[in-house]
Amino acid sequence: MAPEADLKDTDRCVMCGLCLPHCPTYGLSRDEGDSPRGRIALMQGLASGALPVGERLLGHLDRCLECRACEAMCPSEVPFGRLMDATRARVEPHRPRSPGSRRLRRWGFGLLRHPRRLRALARVLRYYQRSGLQWLVRHSGLLRLLKLAPLEARLPHLQRPLAAGRHSTVGPARGRVALFTGCVESVTGADTQRDVLRLLTRLGYEVDIPRGQGCCGALSQHNGDPATAAGLARANLVAFDTTGLDAIVSTASGCGAQLAAYDALYGLEHPRAAAFAGKVRDISTFLAEQDWPETLLQPLPGTVAVHDPCSLRHELRQHRAVYRLLGRIPQLQTVTLNATGACCGAAGSYILTQPAMADALRQPHIEQLQALGVRTLVSSNIGCALHLAAGIREAGLDIEVLHPVSLLARQLRD
Ligand code: SF4
Ligand code: SF4
């Protein structure tokens, strides 16, 4: 994007400050540079050439979660997410990185481009987790010696990914949907995706899992690498034939938000982008729109906490669908975790790049869970679910974290 377009968008900010109370990083640091208004001023300075790329400036930009809470409530409709993506791409070539950090970044983004490599790595790590090797390594003191203990503790439970192909309905078919399985989600959320298959086929939908699909591109897009994001999007646009499809459903709202933006991002250059983006639905939204036999679900007396991921609340703006969907389970009550909508700190790769901030932002959520005394938490985004689950474990709480759809699938009557 040309700097002129960014300057035009930054000019829309009237500096009213209404976004400040909604910004989680400003809430923590009380530093204007960590607020949306301050970051917009910095991005304006960079786009006009008035400000050079410096360490302090990069720090303010890097601490932004891209949660888009500011954008959702800005009366001047400043497109903050688009501006931040463009700015990160602009500063990336000038960023001082050590050769090791450059190699790690290339390797990490390379994995997203090559789903087979990602799955091969996940297979090895799954073996490590299941063979008893993990127990041995954790008790050997090796991780502490290599200073790898905090990183290893964040390793999620890895699952066998779903194979490509078509899944038939249990009874007569009423439609057909395609399931987006993603990259990291395909090995950390595969069990949720199996629950989605059970629910959809039971409701009369054939489910396609297209071959050749891969990462949605969100991580690259938000981390200064729009070229890789565009390449990933092109592969998905080729893999998904939208003809005859009722919807393309996604189980991670972070991916869903990126897929839904394909038209805005690539509509001018790819003939399939508009049709593709028009079919994208978060799985909870799609299921909440369907007619269900009243006797399909067994009652579940009790209360579950619901976490609204920023991508579902501020980007897709569909978080209410989760409550409507859970409302189908007889006797179940819901309570919102952090009703102000503040980010939990997961924010894609933020947990890796800003671990201290990510943990500080998660803490109020953990304290609220403790006060609520619930035994179950549902979240529609895999990154948030893993981050919150790690905090729950560290706090010694006995709370299960799962996708809302998995809770529904458990209540299916035979
Ligand atoms: S981003 Fe929007 S809400 Fe925030 S200061 Fe600018 S105009 Fe006001
Ligand atoms: S995207 Fe989130 S963290 Fe970034 S400035 Fe806006 S509210 Fe703050």
Contact 203, 283 (CB under 8 A): no
CA of 22 to the centre of ligand 1 (A): 11
At 348, which amino acid appears? G
Instruction: Name the CATH code of domain 302-410 (choices 3.40.1130, 3.40.50, 3.90.550, 3.40.630).
Output: 3.40.50
Instruction: Indicate the average pLDDT of the chain.
Output: 92
CA neighbours closer than 13 Å in the CB half-sphere of residue 335 = 16
CA of 109 to the centre of ligand 2 (A): 24
CA of 17 to the centre of ligand 1 (A): 5
Looking at residue 160, what DSSP letter applies?
A: P
Ligand showing the shortest atom-to-Cα distance for residue 87: 2
Atom of ligand 1 nearest to the CA of 77: 2
Superfamily per CATH, domain 3-94? Alpha-helical ferredoxin (1.10.1060.10)
CB 14 less than 6 A from any atom of ligand 1: yes
CA of 378 to the centre of ligand 2 (A): 24
Q: What is the pLDDT of residues 323-352, one digit of tens each?
A: 999 999 999 999 999 878 899 999 888 988
Which regions of 312-359 does DSSP assign to beta strands (E)?
332-337
pLDDT given at position 46:
94
User: In whole angstroms, what is the distance from residue 78 CA to residue 14 CA?
Assistant: 9
CB 110 less than 6 A from any atom of ligand 1: no
For ligand 1, atom 7: residue with the closest CA: 13
Contact 7, 86 (CB under 8 A): no
Q: What is the pLDDT of residues 215-258, one digit of tens each?
A: 999 999 999 999 999 999 999 999 999 999 999 999 999 999 99
CB 37 less than 6 A from any atom of ligand 1: yes
Ligand showing the shortest atom-to-Cα distance for residue 76: 1
CA of 26 to the centre of ligand 2 (A): 8
Using most ligand atoms within 8 A of CB, pick from 67, 76, 82 the residue to mutate for ligand 1: 76
Alpha helices in 159-241 (DSSP H): 184-188, 190-202, 218-222, 226-239
Neighbours of 2 (CB within 10 A): 9
pLDDT tier, 398 (very low <50, low <70, confident <90, very high otherwise) = very high
For ligand 2, atom 6: residue with the closest CA: 70
pTM above the 0.85 mark? yes
Residue 2 has pLDDT above 70, yes or no: no
CA of 84 to the centre of ligand 1 (A): 14
Instruction: Please report the sign of the dihedral spanned by the C-alpha atoms of residue 78, residue 82, residue 88, residue 93.
Output: negative
Please compute the mean of the pLDDT values over residues 64-92 and round it to a whole number. 96
CA of 340 to the centre of ligand 2 (A): 14
CA of 55 to the centre of ligand 2 (A): 19
pLDDT tier, 379 (very low <50, low <70, confident <90, very high otherwise) = very high
CA of 286 to the centre of ligand 2 (A): 28
- Residues 6 or more apart in contact with residue 244 via CB below 8 angstroms: 176
For ligand 1, atom 2: residue with the closest CA: 74
pLDDT given at position 292:
85
Q: What is the pLDDT of residues 249-276, one digit of tens each?
A: 999 999 999 999 999 999 989 999 999 9
Q: What is the pLDDT of residues 183-205, one digit of tens each?
A: 989 999 999 999 999 999 999 99
Query: Which residue ranges make up each domain of the chain?
Result: 3-94, 99-153, 165-288, 302-410
Percent of the chain surpassing pLDDT 70: 100
pLDDT tier, 9 (very low <50, low <70, confident <90, very high otherwise) = very high
pLDDT given at position 1:
55
For ligand 1, atom 4: residue with the closest CA: 19
Please compute the mean of the pLDDT values over residues 26-39 and round it to a whole number. 96
CB 36 less than 6 A from any atom of ligand 1: yes
Q: What is the pLDDT of residues 123-153, one digit of tens each?
A: 998 888 888 888 888 888 888 888 788 778 7
CA of 77 to the centre of ligand 2 (A): 14
Using most ligand atoms within 8 A of CB, pick from 35, 43, 68 the residue to mutate for ligand 2: 68
pLDDT given at position 4:
86
Neighbours of 295 (CB within 10 A): 8
pLDDT given at position 63:
97
CB 70 less than 6 A from any atom of ligand 1: yes
Q: What is the pLDDT of residues 80-129, one digit of tens each?
A: 999 999 999 999 998 888 888 888 888 888 887 788 888 888 899 888 88
For ligand 2, atom 2: residue with the closest CA: 67
pLDDT tier, 365 (very low <50, low <70, confident <90, very high otherwise) = very high
Q: How far is CA 248 from the centre of its chain?
A: 17
**Collapsed DSSP state (helix, strand, coil) of residue 206:** strand
- Residues 6 or more apart in contact with residue 406 via CB below 8 angstroms: 191, 192, 195
Atom of ligand 1 nearest to the CA of 80: 1
Ligand 2 neighbours, Cβ below 6 Å, are 22-25, 36, 39, 64-70, 80
Percent of the chain surpassing pLDDT 90: 76
Using a 10 angstrom Cβ sphere, with 0-12 exposed, 13-18 middle and 19 or more buried, the burial of residue 133 is exposed
Contact 134, 126 (CB under 8 A): no
For ligand 2, atom 7: residue with the closest CA: 23
Contact 28, 73 (CB under 8 A): no
Neighbours of 140 (CB within 10 A): 10
